[in-house]
Amino acid sequence: MATYSFLTTWCVAAPIEPVWDLISSSEQYPEWWKGVRKVTELEPGGENGVGTLSRLEWRSKLPYSLEFDVRVTRSEPPYLLEGQASGELEGVGVWRLFSSSLGTALVYSWDVSTTRGWMNAIAPVARRVFAWNHDYVMQQGAIGLSTRLGAELIASG
C-alpha cells in the first residue's frame, strides 16, 4: 500500500459553532462540498456521533472515484472530530477547530493508505498527482464551506 500524510488548513470568518455543525454532519457534504458525490449513513452513532459509520464517495478532476467508509472514533464538539477510514482508503482523519476574534481555523490531518492495486502500482510516479488531487478536493471544500456559511474564506492551503 502507498501511504500519504496530508495537512490542510482553512480559515473562515465565521463563528466556530456553525462551522462545527457543517463539518460534523458528513451527510450534508454533497450539498456544499464539490467532489463529494454521495454520503450514506450505514450505522448510527451514540453521543456526539461517536460510532457513526458512513460511506463516502468522492470524485474530483482525475478520472476515478474513491469510496470508503468512515467511523467516527472521537468527537469533542466544537473542537475535534476524528474518524477511521476503511475501504479504498484506510487510515485516520482528524478535524481540529480553533476559534478566534477573526473566525474559525480548521486544521485537517489525513493519514491514509491506498488499497486499490492500480493506485499502489503507479504511486511511485503518480504521488505528486494524487497529492495535487487531494489539495484540489480540499480547496473545493474550503470554498463550499465559506459559501454555505456566507462567510469570507480568509485562507486555505
Low-confidence ranges of the chain (pLDDT < 70): none
Q: Domains of the chain, with CATH numbers?
A: 3-156 (3.30.530.20)
Pairing of strands 153-156, 3-12: antiparallel
Looking at residue 128, its pLDDT comes to 95
* Dist CA 1 CA 121 (whole Å): 9
Q: Which residues contact 42 (CB under 8 A, 6 or more apart)?
A: 53, 54, 55, 69
Looking at residue 71, its pLDDT comes to 98
Looking at residue 109, its pLDDT comes to 98
Give the global pTM: 0.96
Three-state DSSP state, 157: coil
Looking at residue 14, its pLDDT comes to 98
Looking at residue 94, its pLDDT comes to 98
Please write the tens of the pLDDT for every residue from 80-95: 999 999 999 999 999 9
Q: Hey, what's the cell of 104?
A: 474559525
Looking at residue 111, its pLDDT comes to 98
Looking at residue 80, its pLDDT comes to 98
